[in-house]
Amino acid sequence: MRGIGSQDIESTSYVNTALEFPEITLEVDLYVVPSNCIQAPILIGTDVLNRGGVTYIRTNNSQRLVRIDNVRSALTAEVDMIKTPLKGEYKNRLLDLIKEFSKTFTTGTATSTVKTGSMEIRLNSDVPVCYRPYKLSADEKERVRNIVKELLDKGIIRESHSNYASPIILVKKKNGEDRMCVDYRALNAVTVKERFPLPLIDDHIDKLGSFKYFTSLDMATGFHQVPMKDDDSVSKTAFVTPEGHYEYLKMPYGLANAPVVYQRIISKTLRHLIEAGKVLTYIDDVLIMSNSIEDGFTTLREVLTTLTAAGFSVSQKKCTFLDTQLEYLGRVIGHGQVRPSPSKTEALVKSPKPTNVREIRQFLGLAGYFRRYIANYASKTACIAKLLRKGQPFNWGTEQNEARDYVIKCLTEDPVLAIFDPKLPTELHTDASALGYGAILLQEHEGKRKRVVGYFSKSTQGAESRYHSYELETLAIVRALQHFRHYLIGIKFKIVTDCNSLKLTERKRNLLPRVARWWIYMQDFQFTLEYRKGCLMQHVDFFSRQPVNVLNIQNPRNWAKIAQTADLETQNLIQKLREGQLDATRFAIQNDLLYYKYAPAGEDFRLLCFIPKGHRLSLLRVFHDDHDHIGIDKTTDLILRHFWFPGIRAFVKKYISHCIVCLAHKKVPRAPNQPIKSWTKPDTPFSVVHVDALGPLTESNGFKYILVVVDPFSKYCILYALYRQDTEELKRVFTNAISLFGTPFTIVCDRARTFESTSFQDWVASLGSALHFITPEMHRKNGQVERYCRTVLNLLRIEVNNKGASWSDVLWKVQLILNITKQSTTRASPLQLLTGVEGTTPVLRSLVRDVALENCHPNREALMTLRRQRTAELLAANKQKQDNYVNEGRRQPRTFEVGSFAFVNKSSQSTGKLDSGMRGPYKIVRALPHHRYELKLLSGSYGKKTQTAAEHMVPWGGEWTPAVCEAFFSNDDDELTGVNEDQAQGAHEEEEQRGHAEESGNDKVEGKQADEDVQLSGEAVLEISPRPVPSTQ
């Protein structure tokens, strides 16, 4: 846990108890911590002080907690509790829609009444169910009196004269408030069960993969919205307290048929939307699907209109609106995929490795129960089974690990792990121990083969480990029912346990309050209990003895020390260093950890934590996989900030060369054919910025574009998500950048319509900045930002396709990764050049917190100035070197005369394979530096001027008129006089071959063109002289 100031505090134990104050008693969770952590014997948190019905009063001499029984007035404020990823205009629309249906959304107990159905209770016995009330203390009677009064005031119950009477029990909620529960176990035993079919989960899941946006609505106290059908049914819900006899006018919780009745009513209400494929319902969960945000809003309005007319209320705090991913019925849906929820297999996948013979028996008990689904079971597990032999030393090694992994793989994939079918016989196998509780949900398929639907396991918390065995077994059932509720509600199934006392508890009247609360919850399900001997329940016993908590710490404190301590090689190195047998100029020991003295060229050495062999691969996965699969150099540099091991660069290179994600999602740019001319780099940060817009992209939270801003000096980049690509949006994000880094002298951009707009140019001029446009089709002239655009798309492609994220939600992460990784040109990270700090990500922060040492320069400001001076020198030296390297072997571009004509490649504007590849003709009106020309269009938009580069131009000799034709053949007779027929035929063939060769050459050039910048070879010239017509044969 974390204390004041975010300091980590380790709790030694936990207890659930009741604190008695003069006017109130509260059930609280207390955590025991070292005495030096707090000054008072007991510290009560704000969660206690903020509970409903409780207030904290402080005077000069005392403090006290008191109960508030009646609130006559309250100050309310609108709090943003809407769960949605939407932002900006879309979120405002959502808030307006919720406000429009404010009477339908509620944050408390619903008081509305459903008009489309009712609850009828039919019994198979005429003998009334009648019990005397359970005993309650005077204080409990007072609390029951208050609860009954509230239910009477809301019209949920009324006084009764019925022959039926079920007893009530009073239990505590987790927040300390009271809950009155009716014990309907006897009534449920004689109730005729309804048979309304629940939706097939498999059918539901199959319909979800093609949708992009999902809205989940949860009904508010749904059962209390359904009226009882008639007075006969009302009379059977009667319950008795020590002071009165009452009955429910609305459907109470705890009745056997309540879930089925609710499903029938909600299905009838939304039938037209369900049949249209827009909505799915499962009990009190309503799921709305759409392929666009607009369709999602339309369907949401239809659903809310229908629910309001039918009298339903919706719990606002439990709803999720227009999200791209959510969990539904045991599956994670979103981004065009439907995946099993990790919670189904987490208990098995994360189970610890056996450490003794007993744990091996538990593991083999689980594996043996499903051995028919494990190919070559006996041979595969023989290496584990041999450790059970008498006298065999316990030596768990690589062979046993591989066998264990094989078994787990078989048990978490088809054909064992099956999709739930409510029509099949279902069993829930549970077990509990002082260490934890576990369960397996199984269904019987053809041939009486049982297949697993899911696994569940959890450690006992605090005082739970001291519960009596039957309490633990009951708790195991309740936790398993909560985990698999979406499968089991509304169907008949069997609970199998090895605790025979549970059968007695089912009929017992006087129960402990917590056990009574659990049994009340269990009444929502239609189950029968079956006892089996413990020797037949070893498959579940494995999970109760090997519990896995849902929340696990990925990088625990002192993980590096634990890793080094457990590694024999590292311990030998430490021992040799201490004995003087290891070079002390290369290694050191700090805080009982082994460090390597790493000294990059031109820098002081720094201490890097040594990583044992067994942890190198997992460490590399954190630095590469969790950081959007950055390249070899960046991954290596990121690791070498804090960690080291021999052969690190070769290891990283080998790993990345085999990375499927990198190969699948990263596009490799291709070099242009013509020489390039690089920019003269500035010598200060943000004096010049290069900008470009990406998009339109797949809509994410209303955003469609990304503005990329790059400082060419430090290489620092800023990424902004844009709703639209217009002047107002650009001004919004540019203003933010200027507030952080100041106004640049020059803004370099392409000739996009938004950048060229008069309003944007006027705004830039008002800042005192110059706007420099690059030549059309010459994307590399803005290469500072173009290179970043490709990288941003590569990283976002991985986040979206491989990790299922929305690109606008992870844009900050991509920007952070780009700015904290070292650039090859500057030999420093962009953030380091700007602030002097290397920077880190949240994942790395938790990873290095125990190994990072102070490697700080005594004068950080002087060091940063030195780095910037070196960066300016490196950029200047690298400019000519880069130009020479890139331009080596490339052709010089063609030159054009002013006044001549040409066509221009329009490949970037082409929308189809059959579109014309050229635009023109143009007249060349002016020659510009760096092989660029200003052109004037001769047709269409007559007189329109543009600029382009020579590599995109093809010369044109003018129109082929009769006068030109006559002049061409004016000397025809003289030329033909000295040429015989054979020579003429040879010339014909030679000309034809040359023509085919030129066409073939053009095809080859075309095949090498890059996707981003399609170019035409400088040798593809339109011939003026006529060619022979090729044969059509």
Among 233-237, 456-460, 798-802, 882-886, the minimum mean pLDDT is found in 882-886
Q: Is the pLDDT of residue 274 over 70?
A: yes
On whether residue 674 sits in a domain, the answer given is no
Phi/psi for 160 (5° steps) reads: -130, 150
Predicted local distance difference test score (pLDDT) of residue 78: 40
In percent, the amount of the chain with pLDDT more than 70 equals 66
Same domain, 382 and 441: yes
> What does the alpha-carbon distance between residue 166 and residue 181 come to, in Å, rounded to a whole number?
10
Q: pLDDT tens digit string along 135-154?
A: 888 888 888 999 999 899 88
Predicted local distance difference test score (pLDDT) of residue 418: 66
For 111-127, the DSSP string reads: ----SS--B---BS--S
Residue 158 structure tokens: 């009324």
- DSSP, collapsed to helix, strand or coil, labels residue 590 as strand
Residue 522 structure tokens: 């269990």
**Mean pLDDT to the nearest integer, 218-229:** 82
Specify whether the CB–CB gap between 439 and 480 falls below 8 A.
yes
Work out the pLDDT band at 71, boundaries 50, 70, 90.
very low
Phi/psi for 449 (5° steps) reads: -85, 130
Q: Is the pLDDT of residue 862 over 50?
A: yes
For 328-392, the DSSP string reads: ETTEEEETTEEEE-GGGTHHHHTPPPP-SHHHHHHHHHHHHHTGGGSTTHHHHHHHHHGGGSTT-
Among 43-52, 474-483, 890-899, the minimum mean pLDDT is found in 43-52
> What does the alpha-carbon distance between residue 230 and residue 162 come to, in Å, rounded to a whole number?
13
Q: Is the pLDDT of residue 611 over 80?
A: yes
Q: pLDDT tens digit string along 84-133?
A: 888 888 988 998 998 899 888 876 666 778 898 899 999 998 899 998 88
> What does the alpha-carbon distance between residue 203 and residue 331 come to, in Å, rounded to a whole number?
13
Count CA atoms within 13 Å of residue 332 on its CB side.
11
Domain of 423, in residue numbers: 343-545
Q: pLDDT tens digit string along 673-698?
A: 555 555 566 778 888 999 999 988 88
> What does the alpha-carbon distance between residue 679 and residue 681 come to, in Å, rounded to a whole number?
6
On whether residue 484 sits in a domain, the answer given is yes
Residue 351 structure tokens: 């189970």
Predicted local distance difference test score (pLDDT) of residue 443: 86
What is the domain-level CATH number for residue 514? 3.30.420.10
Predicted local distance difference test score (pLDDT) of residue 228: 93
Q: Exposed, middle or buried, 773 (CB in 10 Å: 0-12/13-18/19+)?
A: middle
What is the domain-level CATH number for residue 588? 1.10.340.70
Q: What amino acid is encoded at 314 in this protein?
A: V
Same domain, 113 and 261: yes
Q: What amino acid is encoded at 789 in this protein?
A: C
Same domain, 741 and 696: yes
Same domain, 359 and 499: yes
Work out the pLDDT band at 884, boundaries 50, 70, 90.
low
Residue 224 structure tokens: 């209390």
Same domain, 139 and 34: no
On whether residue 436 sits in a domain, the answer given is yes
Q: pLDDT tens digit string along 509-521?
A: 666 777 777 887 7
Q: pLDDT tens digit string along 351-406?
A: 778 888 878 887 777 666 556 556 556 667 888 888 887 777 788 888 888 888 88
Domain count, the chain: 6
Same domain, 906 and 877: no
**Mean pLDDT to the nearest integer, 930-942:** 76
Q: In terms of Cα–Cα distance, which of 878, 868, 884, 880 is closest to 713? A: 868
Same domain, 333 and 368: no
Strand partners, 497: 531
What is the domain-level CATH number for residue 228? 3.10.10.10
Q: Is the pLDDT of residue 809 over 80?
A: yes
Same domain, 310 and 369: no
Task: Let me know the angle formed at the C-alpha of 131 by 126 and 134, rounded to the nearest 5 degrees.
Answer: 160
Q: Is the pLDDT of residue 708 over 90?
A: yes
Q: In terms of Cα–Cα distance, which of 129, 71, 323, 109 is closest to 222? A: 109
**Mean pLDDT to the nearest integer, 746-760:** 89
Specify whether the CB–CB gap between 220 and 315 falls below 8 A.
yes
Same domain, 302 and 192: yes
In the predicted model, what is the mean pLDDT of the chain?
75
- Residue 739 vs residues 15, 431, 744, 814: alpha-carbon distances, Å: 52, 61, 11, 21
On whether residue 891 sits in a domain, the answer given is no
> Residue 871: enclosing H or E segment and its boundaries?
helix 860-887
User: Rg of the chain's alpha carbons, rounded to an integer?
Assistant: 38
Residue 869 structure tokens: 């001076």
Output the CA torsion 422→427→428→431 (10° steps).
-170
Work out the pLDDT band at 764, boundaries 50, 70, 90.
very high
Same domain, 187 and 259: yes
What is the domain-level CATH number for residue 992? 2.30.30
**Mean pLDDT to the nearest integer, 960-966:** 61
Q: pLDDT tens digit string along 985-1020?
A: 444 444 444 444 333 333 333 333 333 333 323 333
On whether residue 905 sits in a domain, the answer given is yes
Specify whether the CB–CB gap between 828 and 870 falls below 8 A.
no
Same domain, 581 and 517: no
Among 77-81, 557-561, 580-584, 643-647, the minimum mean pLDDT is found in 77-81
For 191-248, the DSSP string reads: BPPP-PPPPPHHHHHHTTTT--EEEEEEBTTGGGGSBBSSHHHHHHT-EEETTEEEEE
Predicted local distance difference test score (pLDDT) of residue 720: 93
Task: Give the residue from 545, 572, 588 where a domain finishes.
Answer: 545
Q: pLDDT tens digit string along 290-347?
A: 989 999 999 999 999 999 999 888 888 778 899 988 877 666 777 765 555 665 556 5
Predicted local distance difference test score (pLDDT) of residue 1004: 35
On whether residue 1016 sits in a domain, the answer given is no
Same domain, 328 and 350: no
On whether residue 550 sits in a domain, the answer given is no
On whether residue 1026 sits in a domain, the answer given is no
Predicted local distance difference test score (pLDDT) of residue 79: 40
Strand partners, 904: 919, 953
Task: Give the residue from 665, 699, 727 where a domain finishes.
Answer: 665
Q: In terms of Cα–Cα distance, which of 468, 460, 412, 403 is closest to 440? A: 412
